[in-house]
Amino acid sequence: MTPVKVFGPAQSTNVARVLLCLEEVGAEYEVVNVDFTVMEHKSPEHLKRNPFGQIPAFQDGDLYLFESRAIGKYILRKYKTREADLLREGNLREAAMVDVWTEVETHQYNSAISPIVYECIINPAKRGIPTNQKVVDESAEKLKKVLEVYEARLSQSTYLAGDFVSFADLNHFPYTFYFMGTPYASLFDSYPHVKAWWERLMARPSVKKLAAVMAPQGA
Amino acid sequence: MAPAKVYGPAMSTNVMRILVCLEEVGAEYEVVPVDMSTGEHKRPPHISRNPFGQVPAFEDGDLTLFESRAISKYILRKHGSDLLRESNLSESAMVDVWLEVESSHFDGAMSPIIFQCFIVPMFMGGATDMGVVNESLEKLKKALEVYEAQLSKSKYLAGDFISLADISHFPTVYYLLASAHASVLEAYPRVKAWIDDVMQRPSVKKVTEALKMPSA
């Protein structure tokens, strides 16, 4: 079987999101770099794969997909096994809880944590833009409120959707991994259940493998 | 079976999203208003249903859910709707792709427009910030270009079949059409035709009829 292709650098958060799903199900894949320095993401060839000129894009035979969470779900459905059932679509309630916490990551968690990653790591290292401390401080306050909700949730179950790891948990990995390389990592110390959950995720073989590829950049 | 309960104001885009799904599957439901002007959404009991203090929240028996897109999928799955195409790997993937596009690109451009053109003047006694609106309209146009190209390849977003990806656009499209900026659609004839098609669905008409929209 031809390996699936993921277009975009493995260190990019949304590419890593997809790679993590592939690692979890043990699928064979190939990462094809997209060179931002020469605007390759806006080239006609890449725009055919991702009409918004973003990464990742994905190819499985003659199926082309974009949007990392959609790609992730496709992978988890296609390669699902008894051991790797990360969407729980066979169970109405469990699938709903996976969807709820996947949406939460998109709308609540990500919007609080990603500005900190951008301001502390990506902007200085990759764009030569200095950290905007005001943005960081506002985001840190937002993140604390989000982590309070996560703390309450993770006091009731081992993982976000229930007592089983799922797509919802995995989606948190890329940005949180980079966040842990900022001076704000210690925010998690005030939320012991969240911290323990993060450590459980970091102990997963798939996560460790990707962490080694991503290794914190700059700062 | 007790009707499902939807907590939130019926005119909220995220509430409308799940009402249209309930109508699609013909489920019985009850809308329980939440008075956001008094901060009801930030206090118990609402906060125990939606810990982020937002609307909607949803109850079906002993199951409580929040996040409208998660709730929509639950409703469709429970009632065996084919709007998710989950029995087909590539079709369900395309539905997911365009649901993500709706969430990040379309909604991302439309939310500031809805906020500035409706919420600020109607509920906050403020003035529309046209700078924000114009910036968002530019983002919207970029998205509409992509939609126009996609809809020249297939009748609906995910393929030649209607899906949740199309219907999920209805609430924000509704507000765009009610705003002073609906003419932005004129440059995108396939998008316009697609919108007309979606807005004609009985489920959509039922939800819009229940709303009373003052002019923008």
CATH, residue A123: 1.20.1050.10
CATH number for the domain harbouring residue A69: 3.40.30.10
Domain co-membership, A57 together with A157: no
Measured between CA atoms, the residue of chain B closest to residue A79 is B89
For residue A123, being part of any structural domain is answered with: yes
Domain co-membership, A70 together with A98: no
For residue A104, being part of any structural domain is answered with: yes
Burial of B6 (0-12, 13-18, 19+ CB in 10 A): buried
b/e B39-60 (16+ beta carbons within 10 angstroms → b): ebbeeeebbebbbbbbbbbbbb
Domain co-membership, A101 together with A33: no
pLDDT of residue A126: 83
pLDDT of residue A127: 85
Instruction: Please write the tens of the pLDDT for every residue from B189-212.
Output: 999 999 999 999 999 999 999 886
Within 8 A of B153 by CB-CB distance, chain A residues are none
Compute chain B's Rg from CA coordinates: 17
Domain boundary among A30, A54, A77: A77
pLDDT of residue B215: 45
DSSP state of B21: H
Domain co-membership, A49 together with A123: no
Domain co-membership, A109 together with A167: yes
Domain co-membership, A113 together with A136: yes
Domain co-membership, A65 together with A11: yes
Measured between CA atoms, the residue of chain B closest to residue A69 is B100
pLDDT of residue A125: 87
Chain A interface test: which of B84, B90, B168 (most A C-beta within 10 Å): B90
> Which domains, ranges and CATH numbers included, belong to chain B?
2-77 (3.40.30.10), 87-204 (1.20.1050.10)
Measured between CA atoms, the residue of chain A closest to residue B74 is A96
Within 8 A of B65 by CB-CB distance, chain A residues are 96, 100
pLDDT of residue B104: 94
Within 8 A of A18 by CB-CB distance, chain B residues are none
Residue B107, token pair as written in the block: 């909604």
| Span B5-26, average pLDDT | 97
Instruction: Please write the tens of the pLDDT for every residue from B30-86.
Output: 999 999 989 999 999 999 999 999 999 999 999 999 999 999 999 999 999 999 999
For residue A177, being part of any structural domain is answered with: yes
Domain co-membership, A169 together with A195: yes
Helix pair angle (A68-78, A13-25), 10° resolution: 0
Task: Provide the edge-to-edge strand list for the sheet that holds A57-60.
Answer: A29-32, A4-7, A57-60, A63-66
Residue closest to A160 by CA, chosen among A214, A109, A211:
A109
Chain B interface test: which of A60, A79, A107 (most B C-beta within 10 Å): A107
| Count of all residues that appear for chain B in the document | 216
Domain co-membership, A67 together with A107: no
CB–CB contact A89 B100 (8 Å): no
| Span B111-131, average pLDDT | 94
Show the low-confidence residues of chain A (pLDDT under 50).
Answer: 218-219
CB B21 within 8 A of CB B164: yes
Chain-centroid distance of CA B94 in Å reads: 18
Q: Does B154 touch chain A (CB under 8 A)?
A: no
Total of domains in chain A = 2
Domain boundary among A20, A45, A77: A77
Q: How far apart are alpha carbons A6 and A34 in whole angstroms?
A: 10
Domain co-membership, A110 together with A191: yes
If you average pLDDT over every residue of chain B, what do you get? 95
For residue A35, being part of any structural domain is answered with: yes
CB–CB contact B66 A149 (8 Å): no
Within 8 A of A149 by CB-CB distance, chain B residues are 51-52
Domain range for A101 is 90-207
Domain boundary among A77, A102, A119: A77
Domain co-membership, A99 together with A202: yes
CB A35 within 8 A of CB A28: no
For residue A212, being part of any structural domain is answered with: no
Domain co-membership, A95 together with A191: yes
Q: What is the ipTM of this complex?
A: 0.95
Percent of chain B with pLDDT over 90: 94
**3-state class (DSSP) for residue B134:** helix
For residue A52, being part of any structural domain is answered with: yes
For residue A215, being part of any structural domain is answered with: no
Hey, what's the torsion of the CAs at B4, A161, A114, A63, to 10 degrees?
Answer: -90
